[in-house]
Structure 1
Amino acid sequence: MSEKLSKPVAASAIEKHVYKVFPNDMNAHDTVFGGMIMAKCDRLALVVAERHSARVCVTAAVDSIHFRAPAKGNDTLLFSLALNRSWGSSMEIGARVEAENSYTGETRHILSAFFTFVALDENDKPMDVPAVTPETAKQRKRFEKAEIRREGRLKTRTELAKMSDNDSD
């Protein structure tokens, strides 16, 4: 059997996708609505997953969403997403969002998140995806950290399953 196909991170990455903030994007606190940013990240992470796998993909998990700073009116949001690692049918995609002041060029890191996607076959069953080849030191670091996060997700799922098995309600 041939070795599993592998693709570089750059083959599916999105760098600095631009979204201009308008008044309808604001919440009652006059900052950008976090749910809108999360939804855009999920859609862009889907693009990364489908580019990498060449298959229909679905969101399996979202974790470690950290809002680091608010975005405000007149900001431009810059979304950068890349595949960190793949395992069988699942893939972890990291997202970083920055807010840029369009007038000064100053940027602020406002959000980091990790999305897990699963590739599906024509019968909606999970199917294997290519491995990912990290090519830079930063990509290798993300590759290694992705395994630690995955172990945590699997451990949490196992513990929660044990707890629900013990429920007598």
Structure 2
Amino acid sequence: MEKKPCSESLTVKTSHVLPPDTNTHGTLFGGKLMAHIDDVAAIAAVRHSRKPVVTASTDSVDFLHPVKEGDSICVEAFVTWTHNTSMEVFVKAVTEDLLTGNRKVCTTAFLTFVAIDEEGRPIPVPQVYPVTDHEKKLHDNGALRAAHRKERRKQSKELAEDFGTSFPWTR
């Protein structure tokens, strides 16, 4: 498989934040922003692999600035690092006050996607390579983030096993 540059997977989506998208504070629902993030990141992963993908993990999503009704939200994503069947995707969301032009990064996140075949089994993906300084910074730390995800996933599996499917007080 031929290596691909990070930029080949770049995906951008801009949406207007309307009243149905907001909570009682007049700001974008966090879950709505997370849906935008997953959608754009998945498109970036498919662009890189040219295969169907599934979301394997989402690293922490920190809401740095509110996104207000009437603002726009621009979500940008690209593949930063790859393993055998998985792809790490960096996502940045920028809110813009459309009346003043004031823009702020409101969220950053890393998501991991796995490419799958027709039976839903993981399949290999092309390697990715960075070109710009920003891409290199993200790529250089990809293996470390992957190791953290692996450890976190192990802990999540242990919690799932410990707690099971019933409420703790009914065991």
TM-score of the pair, normalised by structure 1: 0.90
More strand by share: 1
**Does residue 104 of the first structure (1) align with residue 100 of the second (2)?**
yes
Cα 1:137/1:23, change in 2 over 3 Å: same
Question: Which residue matches 2:4?
Answer: 7
Of the candidates 114, 118, 124, which is equivalent to residue 128 of structure 1? 124
Amino acid at match of 1:25: D
1:90-148 per-residue CA deviation (whole Å, 9 max, x = no partner) reads 01111110111112211011111111100001221100000001001110110122221
Counterpart position of 2:142: 146
**How far did residue 160 of structure 1 move?**
4.5
Aligned residues: 165
TM norm structure 2: 0.89
1:67 aligns with 2:57: no
Q: Partner of 1:94 in structure 2?
A: 90
Give the one of 22, 40, 45 matched to 2:41: 45
Q: CA RMSD in A?
A: 1.9
SS at match of 2:60: strand
Match of 2:168 in 1: none
Given residue 89 of structure 1, which amino acid in structure 2 is its aligned partner? Answer: T
Once residues 102 and 164 of structure 1 are traced to their aligned partners in structure 2, the CA distance between those partners, rounded to angstroms, is 44
Q: State the Cα distance separating 1:79 from its structure 2 match.
A: 0.9
| 1:78 aligns to 2:74 (yes or no) | yes
Q: Please, which runs of 5 or more residues in structure 2 have no aligned partner?
A: 165-170
Any idea what the Cα deviations from partners look like across 1:30-85, whole Å, max 9, x if unmatched? 21111111001101111001110010000111112111011101101111111110
Percent identical: 32
Partner Cα separation in structure 2 for residue 160 and residue 76 of structure 1: 35
- 1:159 Cα deviation (Å)? 4.1
Gap change, CA 1:6 and 1:32, over 3 Å in 2 = same
Q: 1:127 to 1:26 in 2, by over 3 A?
A: same
* Structure 1: unaligned runs, 5 residues or longer: none
- Structure-2 residue corresponding to 1:31: 27
Q: Larger deviation: 155-164 or 28-37?
A: 155-164
- Structure 1 CA distance for aligned equivalents of residues 32 and 76 of structure 2: 16
C-alpha distance in structure 1 between counterparts of 2:15 and 2:158, whole Å:
43
DSSP-derived class of the 1:102 partner: coil
